[in-house]
């Protein structure tokens, strides 16, 4: 699909490859296969910029993230991280403390992201998956948080999120042992929505994305905000109130709610406007 007209234009990263496989859908491919798509500091800054652009681009509603080669992502570049631990490097400048570290695993954002896990999702790559809204995995995908075996810890934001998804005991088993699990086990635990053949993983994720993108862009943002508030906050009713007081108010001010209701009454397909949320 040709690149949609966007303002401002998309970033031009080197670690990430951007494409547009369906209307209102962004496909992001991590493209460093020789290093299992491990992210250098430069790669993390690129991803940080892309997510910022994606959330403000009115022609896009949803993104799909995948990897090139046999890995989704091995997470942070541990060789670079090791070098950043030299005594002459200020602690605040070390890799794990860089502002762009955790570009997806702690992303709040406005719009949903689907992980198309094509292979190994280890360390930070697994942390990305935990924070995605929908996860499609290939049959041979492997998930792991091996940080404890390397003397570090999975501090990218996945631990409290993982508890909410799989429960305390499973999260503890997964993170404290540091052993990998299969796509099937991740599916049984609730980390993965669907397991498919490797050659189908991206197309299936894009199918999900395209189906979601056909809905009102305002309603997508508002609905995701309500889901996220419930997942990230302790009080259910407070999560409802936060959504009602913020995204829901903005949704009702927009044109898309009127268009959706009119289209229903007129028995036609709605024609959505760019989201102003």
Tens-place pLDDT, residues 119-129: 999 999 999 99
The confidence score (pLDDT) of residue 98 equals 53
139 assigned to active site: no
Q: Which of 35, 38, 71, 76 is catalytic?
A: 76
* CB-based contact 85:175 (threshold 8 Å): no
209 assigned to active site: no
49 assigned to active site: no
Question: Which residues lie across from 116 on neighbouring strands?
Answer: 136
**Residue reference for tokens 């090139």:** 68
Q: Which of 124, 144, 156, 254 is catalytic?
A: 124
Q: Which of 119, 137, 141, 147 is catalytic?
A: 147
The confidence score (pLDDT) of residue 26 equals 96
**Rounded to the nearest 10 degrees, what angle do helices 217-232 and 158-166 cross at?**
90
200 assigned to active site: no
DSSP, collapsed to helix, strand or coil, labels residue 17 as strand
Distance in angstroms (rounded) separating the CA atoms of residues 101 and 48: 8
Quick one: CATH architecture of 16-213? Answer: Alpha-Beta Complex (3.90)
**Residue reference for tokens 């406005």:** 110
Using CB atoms within 10 Å of the CB of residue 111, give its burial: 0 to 12 exposed, 13 to 18 middle, 19+ buried. buried
Q: Which of 35, 46, 71, 127 is catalytic?
A: 127
Question: Which residues lie across from 143 on neighbouring strands?
Answer: 121, 181
Listed as ranges, residues in the chain with pLDDT below 70 are 1-9, 77-102, 234
Using CB atoms within 10 Å of the CB of residue 93, give its burial: 0 to 12 exposed, 13 to 18 middle, 19+ buried. exposed
Distance in angstroms (rounded) separating the CA atoms of residues 40 and 32: 10
* CB-based contact 194:209 (threshold 8 Å): no
Q: What is the DSSP letter of 206?
A: H
- Contacts of residue 117, Cβ cutoff 8 Å, sequence gap at least 6: 66, 72, 129, 135, 136, 137, 138, 141, 143, 183, 192, 201
- Contacts of residue 132, Cβ cutoff 8 Å, sequence gap at least 6: 65, 104, 113, 114, 115
The confidence score (pLDDT) of residue 204 equals 98
């Amino acid at each position: 699909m040709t690149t949609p007209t966007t303002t401002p234009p998309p970033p031009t990263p080197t670690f990430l490859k951007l494409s547009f496989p369906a209307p209102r859908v962004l496909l992001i491919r991590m493209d460093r296969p020789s290093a299992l798509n491990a992210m250098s500091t430069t790669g993390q800054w690129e991803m940080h910029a892309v997510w910022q652009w994606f959330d403000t681009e009115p022609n896009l509603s949803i993104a799909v993230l995948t990897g090139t080669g046999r890995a989704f992502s091995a997470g942070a570049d541990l060789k670079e991280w090791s070098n950043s631990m030299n005594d002459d490097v200020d602690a605040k400048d070390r890799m794990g403390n860089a502002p762009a570290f955790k570009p997806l695993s702690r992303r709040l954002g406005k719009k949903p992201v689907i992980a198309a896990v094509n292979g190994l999702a280890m360390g930070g790559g697994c942390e990305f998956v935990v924070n995605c809204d929908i996860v499609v995995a290939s049959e041979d995908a492997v998930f792991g948080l091996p940080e404890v075996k390397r003397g570090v810890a999975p501090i990218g934001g996945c631990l409290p999120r993982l508890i909410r998804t799989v429960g305390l005991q499973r999260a503890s088993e997964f993170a404290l042992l540091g052993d990998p699990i299969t796509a099937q086990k991740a599916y049984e635990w609730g980390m993965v929505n669907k397991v498919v053949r490797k050659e189908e993983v991206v197309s299936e994720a894009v199918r999900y994305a395209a189906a979601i993108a056909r809905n009102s862009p305002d309603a997508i943002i508002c609905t995701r905000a309500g889901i996220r508030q419930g997942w990230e906050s302790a009080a259910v009713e407070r999560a409802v109130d936060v959504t009602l007081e913020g995204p829901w108010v903005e949704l009702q001010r927009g044109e898309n709610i009127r268009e959706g209701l009119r289209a229903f009454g007129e028995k036609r397909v709605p024609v959505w406007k760019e989201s102003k949320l």
